[in-house]
Amino acid sequence: MTQKPTYDELVAMVQQLKAAHEQLSLIMESLPIIPYTRRADGDLAITYMGKSVELITGFAAEQFMNDPAFWLDHVHPDDRGRVMAEMQMLINEGILSREYRLQVADGSYKWMSSFSRVIKDADGRNDYIVGAVHDVSDEKKMKQEADMHMQQVIQADKLASLGEVVAGVAHEINNPNSFITYNIPLLEESWEIFVPIINAYAANHPDSKHGNLTLEELAGEMGEIIQAIKTGSDRINKIVANLKDFARLDESAPSRLVDFNKVINDVLTIVGAQVRKSVGRIELELAENLPGFHGHYQKLEQVMANLIMNAAQAVPVKEKGKITIRTRVNMRLHSIIVEVEDNGRGMAPAETERIFEPFFTTRRSSGGTGLGLSVSYGLVQEHMGRIGVLSRPGLGTKFTVILPIDRRQCQLDLQSTILCVDEDPQTFVLLNSFFPRVENLPARSITATGEILAFLQDHPEVDMVLCDQLTHDVAGWQLLNQIKRLFPLLTVFCLADLPEQAQHSAGGSSLPDYFLAKPLKLEKLAKIIKTIGRLRI
């Protein structure tokens, strides 16, 4: 017969259980997870929420437990339907892992990873749900940046691998075309000998025909065919030369101190006359005392020639066409910035995303090979630099080349960025929770528009500006007009409560591109940005 514990033993057991409970609670509260339980039927109400939820979300545990709808109301609208469907899967299958976005107390969203399990009673019926939630926002952001770097690696590897194939293809094409090119002059000379003979024969035999063509018609057509062969052969030679440029990895090319202003002037000496046939104005804004850096002069000339010719071909009307070429030093990046901007037809987001891909061209019908920008991309990479493109249909395109002054001491880690200029600090917090890169300039701390303009000059990766209401003394209409004048391709959003008919403008010189009502809806902003496209860098 089992002896019953004494009173003292019962007290000791209770104290041990209490100590174990306190230790377990302490461990659970110190871990970066939120343990919870909830009912497995009805409204699936949360019955217990760990106190760590307040540290992670800013909400008290009681807010989740007292209001059955509180948790679901704070799930991101785009994730809500999926989350509810997954709850039903959990009830049916008994175990589930998932990720979703949850709005926290400051209005921003955090990515949550949740593991849940259904606990059954002795009869095998669903009793309750137990689970743990983990904040994975930092991991998500790191993964986004890792994906971006991986795309850069893939692009570079794609170019290198394709270069090996292209070198062989160029050689195989060049051999038979060299035979054609060499023999065309002989064919022309021979045909010039035969034409008088054919014409004399045709005069004596007016009814002579070859197929449906008279001899005179045949003689004329043959001359046109020979010229077409010559034109085609010349085009093949041009394509082969571009293929060789694309495939060439000439590390033995001499590296010397380069003055990039001289590179630009030398290129304009060569291609300037051709460019002026398509463009009304070429404006140079070249920085004085631009520092030199070690690079391959001819390769950088080729980059600039490709960018300038590309800009000229994007201008539909010569009289209104303008190309602006700028250089400046960026001490923040320890680099030289070179910009080639046109006011041409611009590109859609789908075109911008592919612009540096080999053989992708928007001008195939007019002779484009799709290799010029791919070659430029590779040559800039060879100089440890970056090249970016910002384009808006109907407004124009800007290519930005960033070249480190000292390649040994500079690693350029850049991606498209939103600049937030707002009185309310929560706007930045909200944006930063949703987009990979956001920079903040609190409107209340700005004393002059020059501060913001200098920031934009110093951060070439910024492609969008989100401003506070335009009634602000500094971050208002004056700033907007300056941005539109100096950075016409930047997309400007204005946070302001305006009538429905004024919610969107076409991007005039004195209006933002978009008005957004407060409170800011991230999903709406994200949809707009998807249609606009981002800086490709």
DSSP letters for 395-460: TEEEEEEEEESSTTS-------EEEEE-S-HHHHHHHHTTSS-EEE--GGG---HHHHHHHHHH-T
| C-alpha R_g of the chain | 34
Mean pLDDT confidence for 23-50: 78
Mean pLDDT confidence for 13-39: 72
Residue 250 lies in a domain: no
Residue 305 and residue 344 share a domain: yes
Examine the pLDDT at 281 and tell me if it is beyond 50.
Answer: yes
Cα(103)–Cα(433) distance, rounded to whole angstroms? Answer: 10
Residue 394 and residue 269 share a domain: yes
pLDDT at 1: 52
pLDDT at 163: 57
Predicted TM-score of the model (pTM): 0.61
Residue 395 and residue 292 share a domain: yes
pLDDT at 188: 83
Q: Which of 169-173, 334-338, 367-371, 418-422 has the least mean pLDDT?
A: 367-371
pLDDT at 366: 52
Q: What is the pLDDT of residues 175-214, one digit of tens each?
A: 787 878 878 888 888 888 888 887 887 777 777 776 677 7
Residue 130 and residue 39 share a domain: yes
Residue 278 and residue 379 share a domain: yes
Residue 525 lies in a domain: yes
Residue 435 and residue 358 share a domain: no
Residue 184 and residue 106 share a domain: no
Highest mean pLDDT among 15-19, 132-136, 367-371, 397-401: 397-401
pLDDT at 508: 44
Q: Parallel, antiparallel, or unpaired: how do β-strands 417-421 and 462-467 relate?
A: parallel
Q: Which of 374, 404, 434 marks a domain boundary?
A: 404
Question: Which segments of 277-383 does DSSP mark as H helices, in order?
Answer: 297-313, 349-354, 372-382
**Could you list the residue range(s) of the whole structural domain that residue 486 is in?**
417-532
Quote the number of domains for the chain: 4
Q: What is the pLDDT of residues 140-150, one digit of tens each?
A: 877 776 666 66
Residue 285 and residue 229 share a domain: no
Cα(153)–Cα(159) distance, rounded to whole angstroms? Answer: 10
Residue 307 and residue 356 share a domain: yes
Residue 3 lies in a domain: no
Residue 202 and residue 118 share a domain: no
pLDDT at 503: 43
Q: CATH number, domain at 462?
A: 3.40.50.2300
Q: CATH number, domain at 50?
A: 3.30.450.20
Amino acid at 408: R
Q: What is the pLDDT of residues 70-80, one digit of tens each?
A: 999 999 888 88
Residue 370 lies in a domain: yes
User: Using omega within 30 degrees of 0 as the cis cutoff, is the peptide bond preceding 196 cis?
Assistant: no
Confidence of residue 506 (pLDDT cuts 50, 70, 90): very low
Q: What is the pLDDT of residues 150-168, one digit of tens each?
A: 665 555 555 555 555 566 6
Confidence of residue 29 (pLDDT cuts 50, 70, 90): low
Residue 157 lies in a domain: no
CA distances 173 to 7, 167, 371, Å, are 99, 10, 16
Q: Which of 310-324, 469-483, 520-534 has the least mean pLDDT?
A: 469-483
End-to-end CA distance of the chain: 81
pLDDT at 475: 61
Q: Which of 67, 48, 65, 59 is nearest to 112 (CA)?
A: 59
As a whole number, the mean pLDDT across the chain is 81
- As given in the structure block, the two tokens for residue 498 are 């305006």
Q: Which of 404, 433, 456 marks a domain boundary?
A: 404
Cα(202)–Cα(537) distance, rounded to whole angstroms? Answer: 65
Q: CATH number, domain at 296?
A: 3.30.565.10
Examine the pLDDT at 425 and tell me if it is beyond 80.
Answer: yes
The three-point CA angle 55-59-65 to 5° equals 115
pLDDT at 471: 58
8 A C-beta contact, residue 297 and residue 263 = yes
Examine the pLDDT at 248 and tell me if it is beyond 70.
Answer: no
Q: What is the pLDDT of residues 37-58, one digit of tens each?
A: 998 888 888 998 888 888 889 9
Residue 145 lies in a domain: no
Residue 5 lies in a domain: no
pLDDT at 243: 61
CA atoms lying within 13 Å on the CB side of residue 150: 6
Q: What is the pLDDT of residues 335-393, one digit of tens each?
A: 999 999 999 889 999 898 888 877 667 665 555 556 778 888 888 988 889 999 999 99
Tell me if residue 258 falls in helix, strand or coil. Answer: strand
Confidence of residue 505 (pLDDT cuts 50, 70, 90): very low
Residue 260 and residue 240 share a domain: no
Residue 361 lies in a domain: yes
Q: Which of 193, 217, 244 marks a domain boundary?
A: 244
Mean pLDDT confidence for 114-126: 82
Residue 385 and residue 287 share a domain: yes
Mean pLDDT confidence for 134-138: 87
Greater model confidence, 306 or 169: 306
Cα(347)–Cα(533) distance, rounded to whole angstroms? Answer: 10
